[in-house]
Structure 1
Amino acid sequence: MNVPAPAGTATLVAYIATIPAANLAVTHFGAVPVGFGYAAPAGVYMVGLALVLRDLARESAGRGAVLAAIAVGTVLSYFLSTPALAVASASAFAVAEIMDFAVYEPLRKRGLLIAMLASNAVGLLADSILFLKLAFGSFDYLPGQILGKAWMTLAAITVLTLLRRRKQATV
Structure 2
Amino acid sequence: MFSQRHQRTIEGFAFLVAFAACVPAANWLIASVGTVCLPNGACLIPVAPGLSAPSGVLAVGIALVLRDLVQRRLGLTWAFVAIALGAGLSALFAPPALVLASTAAFALSETADLAVYTPLRRRGLLLAATASNVVGLVIDSIAFVSLAFGSLEFVGGQIVGKLWMVILAMPVLHWLRERDRQIGLGTV
* 2:19 is equivalent to residue 19 of structure 1: no
- Quick check: 158-167 or 142-151, which moved more? 158-167
Q: Alignment partner of 2:153: what SS?
A: coil
In structure 2, what is the Cα distance between the partners aligned to 1:105 and 1:170? Answer: 23
**Which residue type is aligned with residue 142 of structure 2?**
I
In structure 1, what is the Cα distance between the partners aligned to 2:92 and 2:123? Answer: 39
When residues 20 and 101 of structure 1 are mapped into structure 2, their CA distance, relative to the original with a 3 A threshold, is same
When residues 168 and 75 of structure 1 are mapped into structure 2, their CA distance, relative to the original with a 3 A threshold, is closer
Q: Alignment partner of 1:139: what SS?
A: coil
Identical aligned residues as a percent: 49
Q: Which runs of 5+ in 2 are unaligned?
A: 1-5, 34-42
In structure 1, what is the Cα distance between the partners aligned to 2:121 and 2:104? Answer: 25
Q: Deviations over 1:123-169 (max 9, x none)?
A: 11000000000111121111111111111111101222145446768
Shift of 1:170: 9.0
Does the Cα contact within 8 Å between 2:145 and 2:155 map onto a contact in 1? yes
- Larger RCO: 1 or 2 (CA < 8 Å, sep 6+): 1
TM-score, normalised via structure 1 length: 0.88
When residues 170 and 98 of structure 1 are mapped into structure 2, their CA distance, relative to the original with a 3 A threshold, is closer
Q: 1:6 aligns with which of 4, 7, 10?
A: 10
**Counterpart in the other structure of 1:104:** 117
**Which residue type is aligned with residue 117 of structure 1?**
T
**Counterpart in the other structure of 1:74:** 87
Which structure 1 residue ranges, 4+ long, deviate > 6 Å from structure 2? 166-171
Structure exhibiting the larger radius of gyration computed from Cα positions: 2
Q: Matched residue pairs, number?
A: 169
Does the Cα contact within 8 Å between 1:23 and 1:86 map onto a contact in 2? no
Q: Alignment partner of 2:81: what SS?
A: helix
TM-score, normalised via structure 2 length: 0.81
Does the Cα contact within 8 Å between 2:86 and 2:106 map onto a contact in 1? no
